[in-house]
Amino acid sequence: MYVERCSGTIISIPFDHHKIDALFYHIVTHKEHLEEKPVILRLHGTLGNLLDETEHELPSVLATEGYSSLTMNTLLANLGLFFGFGIFDDTIPQIDKACEFLRKVGFKKIVIAGHGLGGCMAIRYAALRNDPLKYPAIKALIAVATPYSMPDAIRRRWRRFGSEPSYDEIYVRAKRIFKPPPGEEPALDESFVVKKAHGEHYLPEHSEVYTLKTWWSLAGPEAGGAKAYKHIGQVKVPILLVHALHDDIIERREFEDLGKIATEAGNNDVSQLFLDAGHMFEGKHDELGQIIVKWFNDIFA
């Protein structure tokens, strides 16, 4: 695969019958950079990357400090949730493919990073790829504004705003696919819109769209892969957790509990930092970038 060597190159990585879109930022090709400095593989939040300033400002800050990054979409992003092929645990081989691409470029050290939903994917991936003999390039994990459990965070938010339909109503419908009543055939997948999922008004930006299958794997009570607390204890590489003090989605106790689980599981390199910001870190990307750079300098010195 040929990739133009310039900052901010949009690339597509083939994956089965699909493709993985990504922003390849600030590529430096000399051998010392590729072997000594880590590259950051950034995973998307809800609805995918390349949609807001969060996905552009931070790579720019990191690039200024000499760190390359690949900001990728998985099939869980964008239309994946709407059409049924965005399944949470199916993102693992897609992340593998992005890591394979970075290794072929020549990078020897990969840091898996994510924000929100991306943090849940990053934790899940680092837990599954925790064998240093099989996956020697995976060197660290960064989880920003990451929920203790994605299903619990979504259920709490829907109940807060009085979603239509409710969380429990969707569970009953989705259960007919995966656990139909005795004697009944499994129901077919279908798309649905949840009104007042992100706010108290009937506005498009306050709505969410799923299919029953994509909802079950990400937001349903049995979506084990999306429950970060179940997996962070299996992560063996250094961990950086960053929490926004004014986050109206992720509670402080979630952030603190994730760090506690990782430490009690035996990981001796867990850093937890607070930033005076909201969930999307508006206006704080430079400060967030400097926190990450300082942490890199400490662990990769």
- Return the CATH fold of 9-149+227-299: Rossmann fold (3.40.50)
Q: Are 216 and 246 in contact (CB under 8 A)?
A: no
State the CB neighbour count (10 A cutoff) for residue 16. Answer: 9
Residue 78 is predicted with a pLDDT of: 74
Residue 17 is predicted with a pLDDT of: 81
Residue 4 is predicted with a pLDDT of: 42
Residue extents of the structural domains in the chain: 9-149+227-299, 151-218
Residue 301 is predicted with a pLDDT of: 75
* Beta strands 18-25 and 9-15, pairing class: antiparallel
Q: What is the DSSP secondary-structure string of the chain?
A: -----STTEEEEEEETTEEEEEEEE----SHHHHHHS-EEEEEP-TT-SSSSTHHHHHHHHHHHTT--EEEE--TTSTHHHHHT---GGGHHHHHHHHHHHHHHHT---EEEEEETHHHHHHHHHHHHT--TTT-TTEEEEEEES--S-HHHHHHHHHHHHT-BS-HHHHHHHHHHHHSPPTTPPPPPP-EEEEBTSSSSS--GGG-EEEEHHHHHHHTSTT-GGG-GGGTGGG--S-EEEEEETT-SSS-HHHHHHHHHHHHHTT-S-EEEEEESS-TT-TT-HHHHHHHHHHHHHHH--
Q: Are 26 and 62 in contact (CB under 8 A)?
A: yes
pTM score > 0.85 for this model? Answer: yes
Mean pLDDT by 10 residues, the chain (301 residues): 54 87 77 79 77 66 88 86 90 96 93 94 98 97 96 96 97 95 92 95 93 96 97 98 92 95 97 91 89 92 75
- Environment class of residue 1 by beta-carbon count within 10 Å: exposed (0-12), middle (13-18) or buried (19+)? exposed
Residue 3 is predicted with a pLDDT of: 40
* Beta strands 239-244 and 270-275, pairing class: parallel
* Beta strands 138-144 and 239-244, pairing class: parallel
Torsion of CA 244, 111, 44, 20, to 10 degrees: 170
Residue 47 is predicted with a pLDDT of: 66
Instruction: List b or e across 85-112, with b for residues whose CB sees 16 or more CB atoms inside 10 angstroms.
Output: bbbbbebbebbebbbebbeebebbbbbb
- What letter represents residue 278's amino acid? G
